[in-house]
Chains A and B, each alone.
Chain A
Amino acid sequence: MSEDATPFGEEWSGLGGMNKVLEHRVRLATCVLLTRFDRLTFRRLKELTSETDGSLGAHLTRLEKEKFVRVQREFRGGRPTSWYQLTDGGREALGHHVQGLEQLLRHRKEGEANS
């Protein structure tokens, strides 16, 4: 299975849009936040997700590597500030992922109703 393929197996038809990268809740939350806001700093993302510097940094590097987010660095008061912005590719991947999640939850509901 490729890195971005869905882990739910063939029986979950229509879940192909789900993206392995966005399966982690912090990466998913980061992309959702970046659809709501134009740009967010590392500090603000850390505050919102309650992650440590190292953990959040790793998640953002992963998103950056996948070209889901782009980073702009600026100096403010002599200190570097990193601003994160969602790319078009990231927006598209998130849209497919959310559709897949909706389908997954629908399947689950139907399964519960049938059992």
Chain B
Amino acid sequence: MNDPSAVSRDLQFVRSVVDASERTPYPRSVAIVWGLLVLVGFALPDFVGTGTVARFWMFAGPAGLLFAAWMSARGLHRFGQSDWRSGRRELQHWALFLLAIGAVMLLPNRGMVDWKAIAPISLLLVAFAYVVAGVHLRGFYFFPGLAFFGGYCLLVFRIPHAWTITGVLGALALILSALVPGSAQASREP
């Protein structure tokens, strides 16, 4: 490195190595489990009452989050890359999202909006959380976020079976994002 111009080349090498390290895999098993949860949980409102849907998500949401955190940590360990900082950031993002959903439930509880409005508001929050995660955390989340936003539009325009269609679109987006090689760094199961 005696030649100062060699410094630029070396720094370029360092940068390329760091860029490559950011391309970490998203565990397929997590995407598939969440795809199934979304498929079932989003289709439910078309077939059963609000109480059953709420009970399903009260259990499935936190359980899915914990499963994803565990599988991601395990996957990265097998991959040879321990990254608690990113894991913590991702966990914070989704925990805050669950908190936001809980806070939204206060609105009808306090008589400020009708219970009917809660479903589309929650779906919009889901879409927002996924798209933001896609922009700031992992590209993997972006397209499922768009699928959920599409579902929100179907609900607002009162398209029949909007929830079932949203579930199918969301599940497909989640699973395809994990399976298609090179799609948002999600193709390699650790």
Contact = CB atoms under 8 A, between A and B. Distances in A.
Contacts of B83: 36-38
Interface in B161-184: none
A41 B80 contact: yes
Ranked 3 nearest A-B pairs via Cβ: A41-B80, A44-B80, A25-B10
5 contacts: A36-B18, A38-B82, A44-B81, A101-B7, A104-B7
Interface of A: 7-8, 23-25, 28-29, 32-33, 36-44, 47-49, 81, 83, 101, 104-105, 107-108
Given A23-B1, A104-B4, A38 B17 contact: no
B21 interface: yes
Interface in B52-91: 79-85
Given A25-B14, A29-B14, A29-B17, A43 B80 contact: yes
Nearest to B6: A25
B2 A33 contact: no
A41 B5 CA distance: 31
A48 B8 contact: no
B72 to A, nearest CB: 14
A105 B83 CA distance: 31
A105 B113 CA distance: 60
Nearest to A83: B82
A38 B80 CA distance: 11
Given A44-B79, A44-B81, A33 B21 contact: yes
B84 A38 contact: yes
Contacts of A32: 14, 17-18
A48 B20 contact: yes
Nearest to B11: A101
B8 A105 contact: yes
Nearest to A30: B17
B115 interface: no
B81 A40 contact: yes
A21 B8 CA distance: 18
B10 A28 contact: yes
B181 to A, nearest CB: 17
Nearest to A7: B2
A8 B17 contact: no
B7 A48 contact: no
